[in-house]
Structure 1
Amino acid sequence: MPDPVVPRRAFVAGSVIGAVHMAVGGSAGTVPVSPVVPANVQVTSDRFAAHIEPCLAVNPRCRDNLLAACRVFEGPLIGIAAYASFDGGGTWSCTGLLPGLVADSDGNASVAFDARGRGFVCGVVADGATRRGDVPLWVTGDGGRSFQPPVIAIAGGGGLTDHPSLAIDHGSASSPPRLYMAARLYGTADDGVVFVRSRDGGRSFEQPRHLDPDAGAQAASPVAAAGADGSVCVAYLVAAASGDLILRAVSSTDRGRSFGAPIALARIGSMAPGLGTVTAKSGPAIVAVPRGGGVVAAVTGWDGATGTSQILLCASADHGRSWSAPLAVATSQQTVYLQPQLAVDELGRIAVSVYALSIARARIDVMLYLSEPGRPAFGPPRRVTTQSFDPTQAVNTGRTRWLGNYQGVATSGTAIHPIWTDTRTGDTQIFTATLR
């Protein structure tokens, strides 16, 4: 379901802690963690009361130029703001709300750069009273210092377009890039996951197409990735009649002109347990390997019967035509994993960033798992956060503390930049780090 503006489902405070302790009993020992922790940088320090759901992209023409966007709060109203760094993430500046925005019920930003160094931000601009909303696209030619007025990429019509995910076929710097976007439609006769593309560098978009008509309104949380040789892949979740969630993917090898049949990648009971007074829903993640036909998708899984949380990863070597069985990157009865994100560096190493909620301490750290080059074989995780934080200090919406539904990660050469929502300051701010 789409995110309400203020009222959200409330759980009994502390329910997850007690329930998991009863399920775990004497659980296994902790996983070894690399002792090297990178410096943490606070991205947001501005007039907005709170910040959640950050996303991040690196300019391929200037790797010190990072572009981030997130949801920002003005009282009970929500907008989208962009932030830029020109020193590799050491310092950040904010341009305020994106052009044309008036805070209401906006959010779900997604960012990307093309091969020319132009930056793109999309997000949902919604009317909280009518629950209707479109997805505009903003373009910056100066790394995020300023943005052009937006164009509408997906029109919600009589409904709401939610959770857009933007991907770009970098191609040649001398030709217009192709932009791809997957999103979820609500409140229309054609509810479900839709796909649009632009063949003129984001000046105009084709009409939305449904990617999985059979799943219809049971499909949600789409994420898109564009790979080499014109491949596009979209992963999303489908609610099964049994109550389980199925991670599915559809792929195209002709730059989004046509897609193959949906493929089921993994089945999970749920992504995470209820978190008491905190709302922090999870979704899938996807990334394309820069060279070759590799695509990787990830999701968290929660087994309530055993109190076990996992990070599951599925891989394809042929542009998404076929997939491996799910690989458990991490399994724990002491930690609840939330909101996985994926990136691939220039060596072909897969980076998985994730919220790790300690059941015993009820505190969250960001952890990073890094694979060997070219294959999903992971060593011990690296802790990213210099201090754990309390999720119950997240933005207060009136009925719940909202930590957001996703975080971000991007790579620049062999540097990895996680970005996340953090409450160490006593309110909800965005932090980042650089791992080299």
Structure 2
Amino acid sequence: MSVRSSVSMAGAVLLVMAALASPAGAEAQPVQRVSAGDPFAECTIGSTDDGVSDPASEVEPWIAVDPRHPGRVIGAFQQDRWSDGGAKGVVATYSKDGRHFTETPLPFSACAPGGVDYQRASDVWVSFGPDGVAYASGLAFDATTPRNGVAAATSYDGGRTWKHVSQLIADTDPAIVDDKNSVTADPVHPGVAYQVWDRIDQVTSGPGAHYTGPSYIAITRDHGKTWTPAHPFVDTSVVPNSQTIGNVIVADPRTDVLYDFFEWQTYTDVNATTPSDLHFAVVNSTDQGRTWSRPVKIGADTSVAEVDPNAPDDPDKALRGGANLVSAAVDPATGELYATYQGSDFTAGRYNDIELVHSTDGGRTWSAPVRVNQAPNAPAFTPSIAVDRRGTVAITYYDLRYLQPGNTTTLPTAMWYATFPRGGERYPTERRISRVFDWLKAPYAGWGHFLGDYEGIAAAGGGFRPILVETNNDPKNSTDAFSGLLAPSANAAGPQVVPATPRLTTPRHPNAHPFRR
């Protein structure tokens, strides 16, 4: 059931170089569509009375690049997003040459051939090991029963086929929710990979009322043939009514140290209705995930609700982006750690910027945040980060700088690509890499129009390869995934002047979500 993409990426490098040499507002788009068709179009599994599935929609993409062969790429995304949680399934799009992409369903829902027996899937993630073996992770769950869990699969052929389909955890208790999983292949040890997620346990009444959400891990040391029993490694019971969310491991190839980044959320009550403390944190392991340090606070989460600035109280125009999640990377040459996230430190709580912090001492201490996005009067969302072997840092994000005052019918949005050399985070060079598209055309998922809680970017040889979602004007194909090979931009000597629409947004309260399927 693979589908050959109708769009070739031939000539992408020339397009990239031309685009990066153009002014920031130029129309050149150095990415190409890498999604095509709808392998789940005929599948009705997972239907509910209240749920609406957006046909042929692709959202929340991730990407991995083979460290031995930068042309070997695997992207992955949710396919046919449901309005009340998850998607019909998740799909991989793979390439052997970085130019031509083919789709194949990942086996993480019953809509996929050979998939695990669950009605829906979400939160797909992929990672390449040092030997070119790829690992995939997916959240699998039912819409009509409390069954849910995390699944894994392995590819030996660059994403064309997937083997060793495994269920790492299977929960049936209505009080327990597995959420926000990711997988990271060990960059030094072939066959070793780590899956992490949060597992929320919430009993809201009676003498045993409690709320907790520890980080869980499962490890393979034989290319995914077997995984260790899933078990907690960050204990949130030490603080009442707490959980982690958005666990992601990055590994330092020089030292073999693993770093797991996440947000720690604490609520005032067992129902998790009001957050009292939101902060980003990190733990580390020096023995391939067998034991872990105590959490170190990175910084406060000051993100505010993601809204249309011209209609902040209109529920039909609510947005869903990357608030409360952290994207992290390590410099493979020096071990310097970076973390980026949405925050409102530079706007006095009015709207979100893209903030960046770093650590040069193995995560023990962290710098003050700097603002990365170069249109300071426009809200920015959903950052992703990667660092290459030369120490060049690349960050992608969406923003709303093209939105004009008084426009309440569309929400012009674009994705931007900022790069800087090691130490140059205060003066990044920024380029637009997407079309300007209408975010309000995206599927409505949970509490807002949804492009993804995360997007992806990976170092690829001498450049970077992002993957992102743009909307279309066709309700039968509301979104597509795009990717391309981008060269690092020449670093500017000082701050860039980028056109932006001056605006003020209505102050919003911090938004935290116990789980984000």
Q: How would you bin the TM-score normalised by the shorter chain?
A: 0.7 to 0.9
Q: How far apart, CA to CA, are the structure 2 residues paired with 1:133 and 1:398? A: 18
Letter in 2 for 1:428: T
Q: 1:376 aligns with which of 425, 429, 433?
A: 425
1:26-45 aligned within 5 A: 33=24, 37-45=28-36
| Aligned-partner SS, 2:372 | strand
Separation in 1, partners of 2:127, 2:362: 20
Using a 3 Å threshold, how does the CA distance of structure 1 residues 374 and 333 change in structure 2: closer, same or farther?
A: closer
User: TM-score scaled by structure 2?
Assistant: 0.71
Classify 1:383/1:143 alpha carbon distance in 2 versus 1 (closer, same or farther; 3 Å). same
- The yes-or-no answer on 1:310 pairing with 2:353 is yes
Higher strand share: 1
Q: Which moved more, 1:293-302 or 1:119-128?
A: 293-302
Deviation at 1:411, TM superposition (A): 1.4
Task: Map 1:317-328 onto structure 2 (within 5 A).
Answer: 317-328=360-371
1:395 is aligned to 2:443: yes
Deviations 1:280-333 (A, max 9, x none): 231210112223322211111136755343211121223323322223223755
Quickly say closer, same or farther: Cα 1:255–1:306, change in 2 above 3 A. Answer: closer
Aligned-pair distance for 1:149?
4.1
For 2:437, what is the secondary structure of its paired residue?
A: coil
> 2-side partners of 1:289 and 1:204: how far apart?
30
Task: Supply the distance in 1 between the matched residues of 2:446 and 2:216 (Cα, whole angstroms).
Answer: 32
Normalising by structure 1, report the TM-score. 0.83
CA distance in 1, matches of 2:215, 2:304: 19
CA distance in 1, matches of 2:288, 2:169: 18
Aligned to 2:392: 349
Does the CA contact (< 8 Å) of 2:154 and 2:223 recur in 1?
no
Pair 1:372–1:146, CA change in 2 (3 A): same
1:347-385 alpha-carbon deviations (Å, 9 max, x no partner): 111111111123734311111111213653442311111
Give the alignment partner of residue 62 of structure 2, picking from 46, 52, 55.
55
Q: Name the SS for the 2:242 alignment partner.
A: helix
The SS at the match of 1:392 is helix
SS in 2 for 1:135: strand
Q: Shift in Å at residue 407 of structure 1? A: 0.8
1:252 aligns with 2:261: no
Q: How does 1:71-110 map to 2 (within 5 A)?
A: 71-73=78-80, 77-88=87-98, 90-98=99-107, 99-101=114-116, 104-110=119-125
Amino acid across the alignment from 1:127: D
Distance in 2 of aligned mates of 1:33 and 1:341 = 20
- Give the direction of change, closer, same or farther, for the CA distance of 1:166–1:375 in structure 2 (3 Å limit): farther
The residue number in structure 1 matching 2:465 is: 417
Farther off after superposition, 217-226 or 72-81:
72-81
- Is residue 219–residue 239 contact of structure 1 (8 Å, CA) maintained in 2? yes
RMSD between superposed Cα atoms in Å? 2.7
- Tell me which residue corresponds to 2:177: 160
User: Are the equivalent residues in 2 in contact too, given 1:166–1:182 (CA < 8 A)?
Assistant: yes
Maintained 8 Å contact 2:126/2:183: yes
The structure-2 alpha-carbon separation of the partners of 1:372 and 1:398, relative to structure 1 and needing over 3 Å to count, comes to closer
In 2: Cα distance, 1:425 partner to 1:418 partner: 23
Question: Which whole-Å CA distance do the structure 2 matches of 1:58 and 1:42 have between them?
Answer: 17
Report what 1:279 is aligned to. Answer: 319
When structure 1 is superposed on structure 2, of 352-361 and 365-374 the one drifting more is 352-361
Residues 153-232 of structure 1 correspond to what in structure 2 (within 5 A)?
153-156=168-171, 158=173, 159-172=176-189, 176-187=190-201, 191-206=213-228, 207-213=230-236, 214-215=238-239, 217-228=242-253, 229-232=255-258
Q: Which runs of 5+ in 2 are unaligned?
A: 1-22, 41-54, 108-113, 203-210, 269-274, 309-313, 405-410, 488-517
Residues 145-171 of structure 1 deviation map (CA, whole Å, 9 limit, x = unaligned): 111141123444533321111112121
8 Å CA contact 1:182–1:196 kept in 2: the answer is yes
Percent sequence identity is 25
1:432 paired residue number: 483
Aligned length in residues: 400
